[in-house]
Every structure is written in structure tokens, then in C-alpha cells.
Amino acid sequence: MTTLLPRLVPAIGLAMVLSQATQAQTPRTDCAGLSALRIGAASITLPTGGAEVTSATPVADAHGGNCRVIGAIRPVDASAPSILFQANLPANWNGKALQFGGGGYNGRIPNTTGLEMHGLTGSPTPLARGFLTFGGDSGHQAESADDASFALNAEALHNFGYQHIRKTLDAVRQIALAHYGEAPRRVYFNGGSTGGREGLTAAIRWPDAYDGIISWYPVSSYMGLRLWGALLARAVYEDGSAGWIPPAMVERIQRESIARCDGLDGVADGLVSNPDACRRGSAAALEALRCRAGETGHPTHCLTDAQVARTMRVYHRGYTLPFAFANGARDYLGYNSLEGIAMQLGSQPGLLSPPRSGPNAHHVDRAYQFFRYFVNGGRDFDIRQLDVTAPGPVRERILEISGLFDATATDLSRFAARGGRIIWLHGHDDPSVSPLENRRNVQAIVARMGQAETDRFLRYFEIPGLAHGGGRFSPQWESLAALDAWVESGTPPDHAVITDGTRSETRGRTRPLCRFPTWPRYRGSGDPNLAASYICAAE
């Protein structure tokens, strides 16, 4: 029959018949049958020991049900952990897939059945809308996202840095082929913080595999942030913790910064919408907080010279190095610590051994974990003795990690050329990842690729009041729908409105999502809780 096909079918119908024949020859595995699926190493782009489905369970829901698949991607090194992942295969599949990113040092599978990051409450989940959703634990298992001990294994380190992203996608593609008879025709990624870095990494390293990225407050300058945490340790905890600022004073600095700069957007709404203008008055504001002659430091009275010269300087201004990271940068730009953020300096002055986030400054804990396990072979050390401006023999290791982890590449032309799109967002109030760093990274892309080419594939937004996951304005937005529309129809998200999901009296207020360098400025009339009362203004 096959040999007679060209004579029996008109040329215009030949492709359709062959396609139907191919689909008919592709066996489709039901949900229960997926539990026996084994995926060969050759089907995964990067080296692995292959993958397997460990369970496949039908899940009934109001949208026709789905198949929850749990799987494991085996390592090459028998002593390395597997990558554990979950995929949710909807009955009403739309042919598209959404990968969820992780957080911190990962170690757990993210929630892959809920809304996308900062999704709009009450809207259908991606899974309910027909997206195949999935995510992995980044290649190790841990109770705490602060635990970096996995990095003692080289394969686990590389998996966490970037490889787990593509390995998990490849395994899930094979599962989709087995279940639906075809691979996803669109693949999107969404995540925040570490997950935001993973999304940018996907676009940078595998531009042909991903169609769209939603990246919230990404740790794009990964190495810069970890060195900043080590410098913060010295600033805060040297000389008997002379630089430590008590929580009451941290709260006062935030409160007075907001009061000083709230009205710069034309309305007193509790948000600093124009932090650049606010920053121009920060030096005078800091000087007003300094202890005068005869005064002594007090939890809410004044800031000592050590607190100003050490801690406030590092937090607000960052640092400069005598050597460059893999991306060419030599510095980390600091935070809006005099423009409204709540600094994360811990609840007690004493440095625990080892440091612990909460009692101690959050970034000191993260930096200690990093240098102990990524750099120091698991050996304990006193982070106050580490001078990252003169790291000596560990400098090459720092540069190696920068090359593996930093998501700061400026040439995304391959991703843009095939129609890829990036929605990149950051909050002014973020005390964990510097919005100034991500702003600089976007500006570097523009400098490399040009404004017109960058506009074709990337939108960058800064959001007043957003901290790191929450804040005084916790935005909700149907970002996946916006990304999908941009990819499919070329409509960029240029006039979006975001809703405040904060659990307070401000819940439900709206603002325009303003593309950097613009910010929401009150028109002078109208309900200040409605986006229509604001314009996206530039200074």
C-alpha cells in the first residue's frame, strides 16, 4: 500500500495522509501506562543516566482531569543525587507547556498545579487552561532552601547552576510524546528569584528550546550577590558587631524613607514610586540619622559612625572589585535601603556559628553556605575573615562559578530571532535581590543589541512597593496570558494593569504596570486606588 500511495493520492493530500499515518503509528500511552516509561540518556540533551517515571496517577478535576507524573532523572555520577520532577498532563491539552522555577538553593519540587508566579487570584490556573505544567527540584533534595551542601558534588553543582533546567524539559518532552503522541509546540518558563535566574538562563543557553520567559526579581548577578553577602558579614559583625542595626532602627529608617519620598508620585499612597528622585535626597537623610557629638547609639535614637560607614554604605552603595566577573562587571550596585526597603539584618547582634537566617542577616547566611560548600570544600570557616576584594587562591573558583551561574549575557539575538519573548519584572522594595542590578543588566542588553531590537523581544518593569515575593504592593497579574499573546500574536504587554494582593486595607487597588524607565504618577484627580488615575511618567 505504501508504494502505491503517490499514485492514489493527489499531491496536495499526500502530506496529510503521511501525517495521519505517522500519528497512527505513534502509540499513545494512557496515564497508568506512563508508570512504566523509561527514557534513554540519548533523549536528553545533556549527559545523564537516563530517566524514569516513578508514578503516574489520574487526577479528577472540573476540567476533565489530568495525569500527575512523578519522575527521576538519574545522574552520570552514581554518588550524585537524581533530579526529581513532577509533570501534570491535562486532558484538554492546548499543545503548550509551562515550566515552573524554584527558589533559594532549591532542593524541592515547586508547586506546579497553582497559578503562575504572582498570578491573579480567581483566574484559572495554567493547568486548568490546558497547559502541561512541570518543574524539578534542581538536582538535589533538601529540607531547607538555605542548604548548599549539595554543591560538594560536581554534578549536583552543575545541575543546580543550569543543567537541571534543560534535563527536566527533555524528560517531560518524552513523556508528552508518549502520552499525546507529540511534543509541546510552545514552551514557556516562569519563576522568581532563583527561578527568575533559571528563566533567563533558559533563554540564554537554549534559545531554540524556549518560546517565552516570565522572570520576577531574578538573581541574574548571582556571583555579585554572594560576594555582597560576604561583605555585609564583615560590615555588620566585625569588631563585636559594631555595624549591626537593631530591628527597631531598621523599621525607623524604612518608615522615615517612605514618609520623605511617598509624595514624589503626586499622592500619599504608602508607595515610593520614584526611587531615583528619592535617592537624590538620601545622603542628607542618612546624615540626619547620624549620632551627634555626645550621643550614643540606641535602638531608635541614632546611627553610630560604624553603622553608617559600614552597614549603610554596603547596603545602599554596594561595592567595587579589583577584578571582573564573567560578564565583565566589577561591582554590585546595592539596594534602595534609604528609599523604602526593610533591610534584612537579623534579630540579634551576635553572629551564630554557623550563621542562621533570621537571628542573623539573611544574606550572610546565604553567603556562608555558598563559600563553605561551593568554594571551601565543606570546611567550616569564619565568614568575617573572608575579604572578597582580595580573595587570593579562591579567585579562580569565584570566576568559574560566575561563568556557570550568572544570567547576565547581553546577546540574546538567537532567542529574539526565533520569536522568543521575555517579561522581566522587579520591585523597588526588594531587600534580597537588587533592582539596580537587574536594571543595569537590561540596560546592558540594550547597549549591546540596540533599543529597537530589544523592544522586539523584551519588556522590563519596575514595580513600586514590591519586595521579594510580597511587600506593600504585592502584584497580581495574568502574566502567562500576556506572554502567550505576545508570542502567538505579537501583542506586547504595554498597557497592563496589576492588582494589589497585599493582605491589608489596600488589597484590590490597581496600578498601571509601567515599563522602565517610567513609573506610575498620580494624575492629580480621581480615585488613588484605581490605575486609571495614574500615568506612566518619566522624570
The pLDDT value recorded for residue 442 is 98
Q: Indicate which residues carry an active-site annotation.
A: 193, 430, 468
Q: What percent of the chain has pLDDT over 90?
A: 88
How does pLDDT run across 461-512, given as a tens digit for each residue?
A: 999 999 999 999 999 999 999 999 999 999 999 999 999 999 888 999 999 9
The pLDDT value recorded for residue 26 is 56
* Domains in the chain: boundaries: 27-184, 223-405, 413-492
The pLDDT value recorded for residue 27 is 59
Place of cell 533523549: 43
Instruction: Please tell me the pTM assigned to this model.
Output: 0.93
How does pLDDT run across 68-98, given as a tens digit for each residue?
A: 999 999 999 999 999 999 999 999 999 999 9
Q: Do residues 407 and 201 make contact, with C-beta atoms less than 8 angstroms apart?
A: yes
C-alpha distances (whole Å) from 432 to each of 108, 114, 267, 426, 489 are: 20, 24, 27, 11, 35
Q: Do residues 232 and 314 make contact, with C-beta atoms less than 8 angstroms apart?
A: yes
The pLDDT value recorded for residue 23 is 40
The pLDDT value recorded for residue 1 is 32
Q: Do residues 202 and 179 make contact, with C-beta atoms less than 8 angstroms apart?
A: no
Assigned C-alpha cell, 533? 488615575
Residue 180 phi, psi (nearest 5): -100, -15
Indicate the pLDDT class of residue 113, thresholds 50, 70 and 90. very high
SS3 124: coil
How does pLDDT run across 180-193, given as a tens digit for each residue?
A: 999 999 999 999 99
The pLDDT value recorded for residue 63 is 74
How does pLDDT run across 297-342, given as a tens digit for each residue?
A: 777 889 999 999 999 999 999 999 999 998 888 899 999 999 999 9
Rounded mean pLDDT, 360-388: 95
How does pLDDT run across 383-437, given as a tens digit for each residue?
A: 999 998 888 888 999 999 999 999 999 999 999 999 999 999 999 999 999 999 9
Arithmetic mean of pLDDT over the chain = 93
Q: How far apart are CA 509 and CA 409, in angstroms?
A: 36
Residue 28 phi, psi (nearest 5): -105, 130
